[in-house]
Amino acid sequence: MEQEALAAIEACRNREELLALRVTYLGKKGSLTAVSRGMGSLSPEERPVMGQLVNIVKDKMEAAFATKLSRLDAALLQARLAEEKIDITLPGKVFPSGSRHIITQVREEIEDIFLGLGYVIAEGPQVELDKYNFEAMNMPSDHPARAMQDSFYFSDSVLLRTHTSPMQARTMEKMAPQLPVKIICPGVVYRRDEDATHSPMFHQIELLLVDKEVTMADLKGTILSFVRAMFGREREIRLRPSYFPFTEPSAEVDISCFVCEGKGCSLCKNTGWIEILGSGMVHPQVLKYCGYDPAEVSGFAAGMGLERISMLKYGIKDIRLLFDNDVRFLAQF
């Protein structure tokens, strides 16, 4: 019976046959069960011998059933897995991918650098009083430098701000005489200019620190720190004397070219340097106008154009692309 059962188990093709076969041998009315039931008719000497024999056969059968069952299950799983095969090269579900404007991204990158240096963000109106835009910035009405910043007017005293510097005045006026004044002012500014490198509307970030004993050396250190965070650890800066009505001394800041590492290329016009921002020590007239005593406090300020920095960083040739809002351009950033 053992031989016959083991052969039958081996011959089973599926789970159902196997379970039925199990019943045939080991079920209540199974043939092996019948053998063990029939042991009552055996002699007391034969009974233990037969009992032992039945148990051995039963164990063997059980083991054979279990093995066969797990083999059949494994085969079943294999078959299912084979059937469930997919074309894994099909594209994944498409999630929409958006983007923030490059100017927003660059602005935030700069903001984050200065937040790390302890500055807070001050924002103010785009339509501004002449008083804050020019007068407080040491540009009285007949000042020739006003011509540098040709403006859009609403009335004699109201205009679109030509720079973010009026936020210097607004903030200092509000805070005086508290120290330190430590702000960055990002924002939209406007000038009557339009060509491949000038847009009538553009963005600036202003930097202002006013405190006791702030020096031009501190300005250099702060800008170097910013430039390295923004353009790479290896960057150097170069300050060139310049002129802004609201700073004295004033400096243009160049950074060592990040394309050619100073060897000379078209971006830096073979000079190895790229101009990126204007800066200087806050002009004593500005401090005075805004309620601080230039004998007691000093400060530095810097301003940069976000379009210029974006264009430099991403190799954008025409500023108008930034306001064209073509989805193929927007999707790149």
Residues 239-298 that bind other proteins (CB under 8 A): 239-243, 248-251, 281, 283-284, 298
User: Do strands 181-190 and 273-282 pair parallel, antiparallel, or not at all (unpaired)?
Assistant: unpaired
Q: Least distance from C-beta 183 to other proteins, angstroms? A: 10
Q: Is 92 in the site for other proteins (CB under 8 A)?
A: yes
Q: Is 234 in the site for other proteins (CB under 8 A)?
A: no
Determine the interface stretch with other proteins among 4-12, 25-33, 93-101, 308-316 (rule: CB under 8 A).
Answer: 93-101
**Of 112-141, which residues contact other proteins (CB under 8 A)?**
114-121, 123, 125-129
Q: Indicate the residue among 54 and 227 with the shorter CB distance to other proteins.
A: 227
**Rounded alpha-carbon distances, angstroms, from residue 18 to 3, 60, 194:** 16, 15, 87
Contact between 26 and 18 (Cβ < 8 Å):
no
User: Do strands 120-121 and 181-190 pair parallel, antiparallel, or not at all (unpaired)?
Assistant: parallel
State how far the Cα of 168 lies from the Cα of 286, in Å rounded to an integer: 9
- Give the one residue of 2, 17, 109, 111 binding other proteins; rule: CB under 8 A: 111
Q: Is 325 in the site for other proteins (CB under 8 A)?
A: yes
Q: Is 321 in the site for other proteins (CB under 8 A)?
A: no
Contact between 109 and 230 (Cβ < 8 Å):
yes
Q: Indicate the residue among 61 and 274 with the shorter CB distance to other proteins.
A: 274
Q: Is 233 in the site for other proteins (CB under 8 A)?
A: no
- Give the one residue of 190, 231, 258, 289 binding other proteins; rule: CB under 8 A: 190
**Of 34-63, which residues contact other proteins (CB under 8 A)?**
none
The conformation of residue 198, written as its DSSP 8-state character, comes to -
Q: Is 225 in the site for other proteins (CB under 8 A)?
A: yes
Give buried/exposed letters for 258-284 (b at 16+ CB in 10 A, else e).
Answer: beeebeeeeebeeebbbbbbbbbbbbe
State how far the Cα of 45 lies from the Cα of 49, in Å rounded to an integer: 7
